[in-house]
Amino acid sequence: PIEGLPAGTIGGAKFTKDGKSLAITAATYNSSSDVYEYTFATKSFQRWTESETGGMDVSSLSEPELITWKSFDGKMISGYLYKASSKFTGKRPVIINIHGGPEGQSRPVFIGRNNYFLNELGISIILPNVRGSTGYGKTFTDLDNGMKREESVKDIGALFDWIAQQPSLDKDRVMVTGGSYGGYMTLAVAATYNDKIRCALDVVGISNFNTFLKNTESYRRDLRRVEYGDERDPEMSAFLEKISPLNQTEKIKKPLFIVQGQNDPRVPYTEAVQMKDKIKEKGGTVWFLMAKDEGHGFRKKNNTDFQFYATIEFIKKYLVE
């Protein structure tokens, strides 16, 4: 065990030629990536670099907290809580941001411009690692495969119960968001737990697994079938149709913001368009943003800026106020 290194992730490690110290690259909640040297004789760290944070004042940022909660079947699920700045008092609104993959993992790293929500809007952020996430063993990673897909959604249902028990969090002001598979999770949570949220933000998300598997690029199709199930099997196709958010739009009564890139080869833009059209048909509130020059997530600065400012307006209107 070594002491003195902030909570975060280590991306690289290399011994010095004399073997007396170890250089590591670490990303933390208040630093995007920096180099540290650990000297074995003194058991001490020396920080060699100060990464650029774009002029952000990181002094008020607090270390993310590892949290755990019991899900519907007794399994313990974990995630990270980034608390709103201490300058805000009372119960704070919450953004639940679900990672994609689904075989991804949220880690306690620097969250960049999302610190704006902590510092300027007084919103706490939770990054859950629901079943299906990596980093917890192969069994845990496979717990959402095929017919078990909705069990990961129930993990978020249990998270709502955990939030309700926290004195610093406002259970009546919760937004769910995520990108790609996290976008599917966002839509599924919005339909299943409509009464637990204020609003939802879906970024390049899957709205119907059957149409997704049909329209995603062919080089990805077999790989995705291992995770989601083979839609050519009538039984599996019927199951995927039943759980798809596109077929549950009547349950989505809270405002929804959909963001999509028109050139997305992974989750085709048709997934977003059909969801938007169905929500409007049902009389729901839906914001829609599609960039014609983007793919699976926005990359160009003018587009990412526009998306961020639009997200702030959506959050101010439907979550904070």
Exposure string over 263-275, b if 16+ CB within 10 A, otherwise e? ebebbbbbbbbbb
Residue 126 · residue 67 · CB < 8 Å: yes
Nearest Cα neighbor of 238 from 247, 227, 250 is: 247
Which of the following is catalytic: 124, 133, 180, 244?
180
Beta strands in 180-269 (DSSP E): 199-203, 256-261
180 counts as catalytic = yes
99 counts as catalytic = no
What distance, in Å, lies between the first and last C-alpha atoms of the chain? 45
Q: How far is CA 291 from CA 95, 175, 273, 279, in A?
A: 24, 23, 12, 20
DSSP conformational letter for 129? E
- Alpha carbons 164 and 137: distance in angstroms, whole number: 29
Q: How far is CA 34 from CA 7, 48, 52, 60, 98, in A?
A: 13, 7, 10, 19, 26
Residue 261 · residue 269 · CB < 8 Å: yes
- Alpha carbons 86 and 18: distance in angstroms, whole number: 45
264 counts as catalytic = yes
Which of the following is catalytic: 155, 170, 202, 264?
264
Active-site annotation, residues = 180, 264, 296
